[in-house]
Amino acid sequence: MPIHILPELVVAQIAAGEVVERPASVVKELLENAIDAGASNIRIEITGGGRQRIRISDDGSGIPPHEVELAFQRHATSKLLSAEDLSSIETLGFRGEALASIASVSQLSMITRHIDNESGLMIQLAGSEILRKQAIGAPAGTVITVENLFYNTPARLKFLKKENTEKRQIALFVSRYAMAYPHVKFVLEQDGREVFRSNGSGQLADVIVAAMGLDSFKNMVEVKGHDSASGSRPEINVTGFSSVPSLHRADRNHITLFVNGRWIQDTRLSYAITQAYHTFLMTGRYPVAIVMVQLPPSEVDVNVHPTKAEVRFRDPEALFSAVQRAVRRSVVELAQTPAMRSGRFGGLGFRANDWEHWDGSASTSVPQQQLGMNLDLHSAGQYTRIPLNNHTSTTLPPDSIPEGIGAPAKPRTLPILRVVGQVGATYIIAEGPSGLYLIDQHAAHERILYEQFMEEHERHEQVAQLSLEAQTVTFPPADAHLVEENLKTLAEVGFTLEPFGPNTFIIRGVPALLANQAPDEVLAGIIADLEAGTTPGQASIEEKIVTRVCKHGAIKAGQILSIDEMQSIIRQLERCKSPHTCPHGRPTMLHMTSEQLAKEFGRLG
């Protein structure tokens, strides 16, 4: 094939592939244009996950009639004049590619009226070709409607995600921009139902409540930090909110970063926030944070990524330190509050000068008081108040075994073990024919419940449920879509949820294992699992949900058990298919052979 110049439409569609990856990309680009136009009210209407229609209305400055047609040309922008301007970008958009790219892969119409004009203009395009243009009466601002996205690029259409996945992504983008610009009122409507609204009060706290829910916001602390300009280092302001140590997630996806009003993805800054929780969170757990960074535009290079989601900093070390210090200071100051020391944090205590010794290094630790268990102690010979499998407060005689605990007729996978005792109210000591076994009671019970649950699920038996009295739970918009998408899957494992208003569900039933648990806490963990999808070794998302249910239903570390209860756990574990690990892959037991014991005591050789 000879070398030739590609047609302009093909060039535009290739360029659109970098800017317009999915419906959420269209929403992002049009939102940025509305914000740059100075809008104080933005309304987003979505149909069919954005494939059928996206309509974004704003009350910004609008576009002069003689510039409307030019706005749909590639590299047409009002935000740059020369290459030097790239070194100090203060707007969200600047390349002049968004409208041209969107128009090349959709059927688009725009109604716009500039604030200095008495009438507006309507223009319609299909695949970048102008079909109609006429004067029209309209309020100041712009309304853009994008229909049949990717209608002329079927290959791109084929690779789009499910409709609910696109809805979640759009909800995430809208909530992020609402956080970055709390003085702007955002309304998101999907398929005729309002799923998000911010009030435009200018308070970030109001937007976080709307986006994440009041319960999450109650577990967050305000972040404030200021680094003055010094030598070659720029002035840096850090604001936002970050979670208390009791609110955490399994990944960094709940850390939201903004630089000069732009949402970005930056692994290093996310790590800075995570490191600020050093000694506060377990390994593998991450905080929930919304952090805003303001610094001179000349210190940031935003022209390094097609979607502008990644940026470069002139002095990344200064930014890393500023963010880490600001978040760390907020968390430490909260821990110093007496009410919190005796409440949520269960006894964490810090001296007033602890902060002075914090240098941000991973090896530095914060002094910590011993945590009390606050448990009623009782001997193994007394009637226990902690039954094994239903967490009610009934009592059991020492010679009884809770219902359903007896060893089933399954092949034995462990040797017969004899309980010796319990260490730290966490580990069961058992003796077997080949030595000593130290068993993690929580991990072991989790494995037992998981295999029982999965056996019932495979037999399609009705999972026992607990009826509740009109208990409701409200999720952030993106999470609500995720729950709605998986209602059937949740019902199969015992959760009965019914939609009840925007992003709200009535909980009609939960698995019997969770009878005395707060269902909203369990559902929050399940949502995190659903976001991550399936993982290697898990055949379906149902298994992941069951794993989460069993984790919450299993006895906990710090729970004192009677000899009978410990023996009951051992008997069931002996018959599990995979007794050596919990469903998450952690070991349930450590084994020391008789030979190892003899060697340790110097009885060999």
- Interval 62-100: pLDDT, tens: 999 988 888 888 776 665 555 555 566 667 766 667 888
Q: Are 184 and 39 in contact (CB under 8 A)?
A: yes
- Beta strands 220-227 and 255-259 are unpaired
> Above 70 in pLDDT, residue 357?
no
User: What tokens does 21 get?
Assistant: 């990856």
Distance CA 323, CA 236 (A): 9
Phi and psi (nearest 5°) for 218? -65, -20
- Give the count of beta carbons closer than 10 Å to the beta carbon of residue 471: 13
Higher pLDDT, 517 or 268: 268
Rg of the chain on CA atoms, in Å: 29
- What per-residue string of b and e applies to 402-416 under the rule 16 or more CB within 10 Å gives b? beebeeeeeeeebee
Higher pLDDT, 540 or 55: 55
Distance CA 266, CA 363 (A): 23
pLDDT (0 to 100) of residue 135: 92
Q: Average of pLDDT values for 202-215?
A: 91
> Above 50 in pLDDT, residue 36?
yes
Ordered alpha helix ranges (H), 276-344: 316-335, 338-341
Mean pLDDT, the chain, as a whole number?
A: 77
Three-class HEC string of 139-190: CCEEEEEEECCCCCCHHHHHCCCCHHHHHHHHHHHHHHHHHHCCCCEEEEEE
Q: Report CA 147 to chain centroid distance, whole Å.
A: 30
**118 by DSSP, 3-state: which?**
coil
> Above 90 in pLDDT, residue 208?
yes
pLDDT (0 to 100) of residue 434: 81
> Above 80 in pLDDT, residue 338?
no
Distance CA 150, CA 9 (A): 13
Distance CA 140, CA 467 (A): 53
Quickly state the pLDDT bin for 14 (edges 50, 70, 90).
low
**210 by DSSP, 3-state: which?**
helix
pLDDT, tens only, 145-163: 999 998 888 877 777 878 8
pLDDT (0 to 100) of residue 392: 39
Distance CA 403, CA 406 (A): 8
Higher pLDDT, 554 or 192: 192
Q: Average of pLDDT values for 352-371?
A: 37
Domains in the chain, CATH or no CATH each? 8-201 (3.30.565.10), 219-357 (3.30.230.10), 418-591 (3.30.1370.100)
Q: Are 495 and 467 in contact (CB under 8 A)?
A: no
Distance CA 344, CA 247 (A): 11
pTM over 0.75: no
pLDDT (0 to 100) of residue 377: 33
